[in-house]
Amino acid sequence: AQKVTQAQTEISVVEKEDVTLDCVYETRDTTYYLFWYKQPPSGELVFLIRRNSFDEQNEISGRYSWNFQKSTSSFNFTITASQVVDSAVYFCALREMGSGAGSYQLTFGKGTKLSVIP
């Protein structure tokens, strides 16, 4: 069965520090997608990135970067020069490519609460 583990429950950093959020996943599928979502205190879930299992290229978007390593089943997320607005709960999620509606089901990790202190 699929599983997503975010071992870090809470992280606190001082503004401008870099921070890495860890995500480890388990799946038997060879084809799958990995996601990161941000949930600020207001509650909405904001899509950050999608990565498919065949694309191990790391990605950078502004201060955000993602490191996908199939060898270790990890999809880690780094924020450089953190800002107070980055304070939120971050969720890593896995979508296995099955058939029918089930292939759209997301398995979420428990989330990592990031607090950026001014």
Partner 1 sequence: SAVISQKPSRDICQRGTSLTIQCQVDSQVTMMFWYRQQPGQSLTLIATANQGSEATYESGFVIDKFPISRPNLTFSTLTVSNMSPEDSSIYLCSVVTAEGISTIYFGEGSWLTVV
Q: Which residues bind partner 1 (CB under 8 A)?
A: 33, 35, 37, 42-47, 50, 52, 91, 95, 101, 104-106, 108-111
Q: How far is the CB of 81 from partner 1 (least distance, A)?
A: 26
Q: Supply angle C-alpha 110, 113, 118, rounded to 5.
A: 175
Query: Cα(82)–Cα(19) distance, rounded to whole angstroms?
Result: 7
- For the bound state, the minimum distance from the C-beta of residue 94 to partner 1, rounded and expressed in Å, comes to 11
Q: CA of 8: how far to CAs of 16, 20, 54, 68, in Å?
A: 20, 10, 26, 18
Q: Which is nearer to partner 1, 80 or 110 (CB)?
A: 110
* Cα 22 to the center of its chain, rounded Å: 7
- Smallest separation, CB 85 to partner 1 (Å): 18
Nearer to partner 1, 35 or 68 (CB): 35
| Cβ-based nearer residue to partner 1, 3 or 16 | 3
- Measured distance CA(87)–CA(111) in Å, rounded: 13
